[in-house]
Structure 1
Amino acid sequence: MYWIINDNIEFRPGMKRLSSVNNPEMNVTLTSPASRCLLLLLEASPDIVLQQDFFKKVWEEEGMLVPTNTLYQNISIVRRGLRAVGETDRRLIATIPRKGFQIDDSVKISRRNDNEPATPFPVSTTSNQTTYNIPEVFNQPKNDVNDQVLPAETDARTITKEKPFAMSNGVFAASASFIVGLLVVYLAWNINNDADFFESYKFIEKEDGCYFYTKDDSHDNNEYYLKYKSLIKDSGLNCKNYPWIYFPTSQTSPSLAALVCKNKFSTTSSPGCISLLIRGVNGD
């Protein structure tokens, strides 16, 4: 089963892929949660999909509790993917304030069987088309949060640790966001470069069904290891679903970037990992 959107965008949920009907070489591979969000919107159209329905069907059924920002992040990924493949600036997904999202009333959608081909339209003469790597952050809508470059089959979760007072300094906030971005890009780059990423981590202990791995120049400093382990466990992580946990214990980073996986990397080529970001862990 697949979907045709506005006669020129093909969405195949099983492959998490958006592609142009006119030019299949122009395509976008969505993250797993973004793909599930789009599928919910298409199946519910023209009705609204409430925020709680997204949380339940996209994350909670996988054993994850995520903040609202994560939902906005994945809707942003879908919007940019649709714009890129459809080569349009039209609004395809409408935000319903304080409720949820829906496919815009102006959008035409149709559901097709796998053996039913999409009807191609004449291809305009253009330069060579390329595959878009989603997500990238360009001219992001105000209500969307920064999207993250993640490996295939990887979801994203961002948690902000509460501070004793509000930080209003824009320069500091921008710097912190930039540093977090570097952490995520670094994390994704390492994951995509074979098992070297995981092999650099050492097994520390098993606790409550979770296997904790860490790497650090200061891992002997138990204070930071115990602090970060506690933050990860307090995030709502379900050790039954994601028992393999990899995280550094930097004493200077303002954020903790951990990778939690369904399977051990050495037993499968697709460990099914989630990037868990906890901000403000070493703030003053």
Structure 2
Amino acid sequence: MKYIINLNVIFDPDSRVLTLKNDIQQSIELSKPATRLLSELISNNRVNLERDDILKNVWEDYGFSPSNASLNNHISELRKAFTNLGISKDIIFTVPRVGFRMDAEIHPIQKAIAEPAPSHEIPTINQGVKISTNDAPAEIGEPKDRGSLYLSLKKHRMLSFVLALLLLLTTLIGMTTLIHTKKESISFLVTHDKCSIYNLNDNKPDKDYTAKIIKEMTEEGIDCSREDLDVFYAEAHPDNDRLRVRLLAACSKIDATRYKNCLNYKTVE
């Protein structure tokens, strides 16, 4: 079932997508944990949810290891998604010493049966554009308020952000594929269910290092029980020892030398 939030954003749990109601080109794909988290918040709208209950219902019940850090990260992911789609008012609140609460106007979207419009009605496309029934040219109205101009500017900023993100992901995927074709530049670590895990660093990992990678895979929702995946892990300290950048790349295999697609997860701490 889909939901409409604050009469402006449509949430589809099946496709894991948030979409602007009046502009389907503006959409954001959520991670699997963030999708489960938003579904839990919607089911308990305007109710204070304790952290332990959220961790159990969103992570533990699905076989994943819960952690407060992962919960905070995915709360942040949801807040950023709503902000990017034009919901400036914070609808996910932190309840001190308790957990979180969602406070929004939420309506489930029922599937409607389309009926042909009567012939005497004038069809309308969006706001300010009217299709005439005679030979007169269509009338195009001016934007109704400053909100329309603000939304247009946000759309352009969002488009620039998406293009930059796609460029970054394309670069990361290309680097991962290139590294995979050069077996001497990576080291195989361990097989976890159907996943083969490789280390992109030069260090000699121990059992704790491998366990940490598997834990991070679980927190990101990488499911090794369903699909053969090659998982690549890299860790770097670009400025100093206090800043750490982690990269996970999970690639679906076509055959021994080619991949169908790769999903990249980057974390900066």
TM-score by length of 1: 0.58
RMSD: 4.4
Are 1:232 and 2:215 counterparts? Answer: no
Cross-structure match for 1:214:
199
Q: CA deviation at 1:34?
A: 1.8
Cross-structure match for 1:111:
108
Q: CA deviation at 1:193?
A: 6.7
DSSP-derived class of the 2:210 partner: helix
- Structure-1 separation of matches of 2:54 and 2:87: 26
Q: CA deviation at 1:247?
A: 2.6
Structure 1: where are the runs of 5+ without partners?
137-148, 152-184, 280-284
Q: CA deviation at 1:51?
A: 1.8
Confirm or deny: 8 A CA contact 1:3 1:10 kept in the other structure.
Answer: yes
- Structure-2 separation of matches of 1:13 and 1:58: 14
- Structure-2 separation of matches of 1:28 and 1:101: 22
Cross-structure match for 1:28:
28
DSSP-derived class of the 1:226 partner: coil
Question: Deviation per CA, 1:171-208, whole angstroms, max 9, x where unpaired?
Answer: xxxxxxxxxxxxxx978841377833544564535467
Q: Which amino acid aligns with 2:205?
A: L
- Structure-2 separation of matches of 1:35 and 1:131: 24
Confirm or deny: 8 A CA contact 1:190 1:196 kept in the other structure.
Answer: no
- Structure-2 separation of matches of 1:89 and 1:251: 34
Q: CA deviation at 1:278?
A: 9.5
TM-score by length of 2: 0.61
- Structure-2 separation of matches of 1:263 and 1:205: 18
DSSP-derived class of the 1:98 partner: coil
Confirm or deny: 8 A CA contact 2:253 2:260 kept in the other structure.
Answer: no
Q: Residue 233 of structure 2: which of 247, 263, 269 is its match? A: 247
DSSP-derived class of the 2:260 partner: coil
Q: CA deviation at 1:92?
A: 1.0
Confirm or deny: 8 A CA contact 1:38 1:78 kept in the other structure.
Answer: yes
DSSP-derived class of the 2:93 partner: strand
Q: Which amino acid aligns with 2:25?
A: E
- Structure-1 separation of matches of 2:36 and 2:157: 21
Cross-structure match for 1:257:
246
Q: Which amino acid aligns with 2:91?
A: L
Whose strand fraction is larger, Structure 1's or Structure 2's? 2
Q: Which amino acid aligns with 1:43?
A: S
- Structure-2 separation of matches of 1:53 and 1:263: 33
- Structure-2 separation of matches of 1:205 and 1:35: 31
Confirm or deny: 8 A CA contact 1:10 1:21 kept in the other structure.
Answer: yes
- Structure-1 separation of matches of 2:157 and 2:54: 28
Structure 2: where are the runs of 5+ without partners?
115-124, 129-142
Alignment of 1:105-254 (within 5 A): 107-115=104-112, 122=127, 124=143, 125-126=148-149, 127=152, 129-130=155-156, 132=158, 189-191=171-173, 195-196=177-178, 198-200=180-182, 202=186, 204-206=188-190, 211-216=196-201, 219=202, 224-227=203-206, 230-234=208-212, 237=215, 241-242=223-224, 244-248=230-234, 254=241
DSSP-derived class of the 1:26 partner: strand
Confirm or deny: 8 A CA contact 2:20 2:26 kept in the other structure.
Answer: yes
Bigger relative CO (Cα 8 Å, ≥ 6 apart): 1
DSSP-derived class of the 2:24 partner: coil
Alignment of 1:31-110 (within 5 A): 31-85=31-85, 87-104=86-103, 107-110=104-107
Confirm or deny: 8 A CA contact 2:179 2:186 kept in the other structure.
Answer: no
